[in-house]
Amino acid sequence: MTQTTTNTRLDVTIARISHLRWELDLEAAVLGASNTIHMPQYQDCELGIWLHSRGQRQIGNRTLLAELIEWHRRFHQAGESICSQTLPRQNPAAALPSSVDEQLKELRHASHHIISMLTQAELEHHGNSPISELPTHPWSRLLGFLFHGPRLAASEKAGILEVNQARLLHLRWANHLPETFRNRGRRISLESVELCPLSVWIHGTGLKRFGQMPELIRCDQAHKDFHARAEEILSNLRMRRDQHADRAYADVLKLSKEIIYLLSVIEYRLLGDAAIRRFSSLIP
């Protein structure tokens, strides 16, 4: 696991990816694929340090900040409960005990919320700036360390930046859906899934360059389901089937979190553990 850093200027992007690393390591331990790990208190992990210092100043939305802190606390509560069990499992093929299985579900549920809310905080911080013009800090510097010299991996470097932009573009588009549904979506048509910027990236670049990643395949399916359910909302609103529209909207919110989460996992896979450990202490 990453060593806890006292660097209180930890950037939100690294805080998000470092958090994800805790989750994936905990899941690997539960499944018997790694050794037992010790989880720090929620104030002492990379994300916790950032949230309780620099994040307090950077996240202007105080409601979002309070919810983020609470979900982070719940994540650690579930993680500590998992760590208190006997890990690694003696028989990885055996079914998980019900208590561990429930805590693992809570861990994943909390993590999806955390990743989504951090993305929302990042988007709000940049305001209405075009996504393509957003500052690439910290990736512009971090990737210089990661892919320097004659072994420069241009496709991976570009890929991380593209995934980062795709994540923000998706959330910005999803945030505008409620406006689309006002007045029951009269004279409004949703952008088709084929023309959506995220779909264009997935099929034009993502699958060609990183098609071996199972998270990208899952992201593609979740994105198609997201658009299908959004169309159902519009159809149900026009037919005044409000309960059906509400259920479809709940699914849309869940799928949106799944998409953002999977795009973050792809970022994590492209960076790798060594880079994440190194960069956690490089940010000034």
| The domain boundary residue, chosen from 111, 127, 143 | 127
Identify whether residues 184 and 243 lie together within a single domain. Answer: yes
Identify whether residues 249 and 138 lie together within a single domain. Answer: yes
User: What are the C-alpha distances in Å from 191 to residues 162, 167, 217?
Assistant: 21, 17, 21
DSSP run (H or E) holding 184: none
Identify whether residues 265 and 138 lie together within a single domain. Answer: yes
Task: List all residues 6 or more positions away from 172 whose beta carbon is below 8 Å from its beta carbon.
Answer: 123, 131
The number of domains in the chain is: 2
Tokens of 69: 């802190």
Identify whether residues 143 and 122 lie together within a single domain. Answer: no
Please tell me whether residue 106 adopts helix, strand or coil conformation: helix
Domain containing residue 71:
12-127
Identify whether residues 213 and 179 lie together within a single domain. Answer: yes
Question: Could you tell me which of 79, 68, 53 has the C-alpha nearest to residue 16?
Answer: 68
Identify whether residues 213 and 267 lie together within a single domain. Answer: yes
The distance in angstroms from the start CA to the end CA of the chain is: 21
Confirm if 24 and 268 have CB atoms less than 8 A apart.
yes
Identify whether residues 240 and 139 lie together within a single domain. Answer: yes
Identify whether residues 157 and 60 lie together within a single domain. Answer: no
Residue 276 lies in a domain: no
Identify whether residues 101 and 172 lie together within a single domain. Answer: no
Q: How far, in Å, CA of 20 to CA of 2, rounded? A: 11
Identify whether residues 103 and 151 lie together within a single domain. Answer: no
Identify whether residues 87 and 158 lie together within a single domain. Answer: no
The domain that holds 177 is classified in CATH as: 1.20.120
Q: How far, in Å, CA of 37 to CA of 199, rounded? A: 37
270-283 per-position pLDDT tens digit: 876 655 665 554 43
* pLDDT tens per residue across all 284 residues of the chain: 433 333 334 477 778 888 998 898 888 878 776 666 778 888 888 899 889 888 888 888 999 999 999 999 999 999 988 887 755 555 655 666 788 888 899 999 999 999 999 999 988 877 666 555 554 444 444 433 333 333 333 444 445 557 888 888 889 888 888 887 777 767 677 778 888 888 888 888 888 888 888 999 999 999 999 999 999 998 888 889 989 999 999 999 999 999 999 999 988 888 766 556 655 544 33
CA angle, corner 131, sides to 128 and 134, nearest 5?
90
| The domain boundary residue, chosen from 96, 127, 158 | 127
- DSSP assignment string, 222-278: HHHHHHHHHHHHHHHHHTT-HHHHHHHHHHHHHHHHHHHHHHHHHHHHHH-HHHHHH
pLDDT of residue 87: 55
Identify whether residues 121 and 91 lie together within a single domain. Answer: yes
Residue 79 lies in a domain: yes
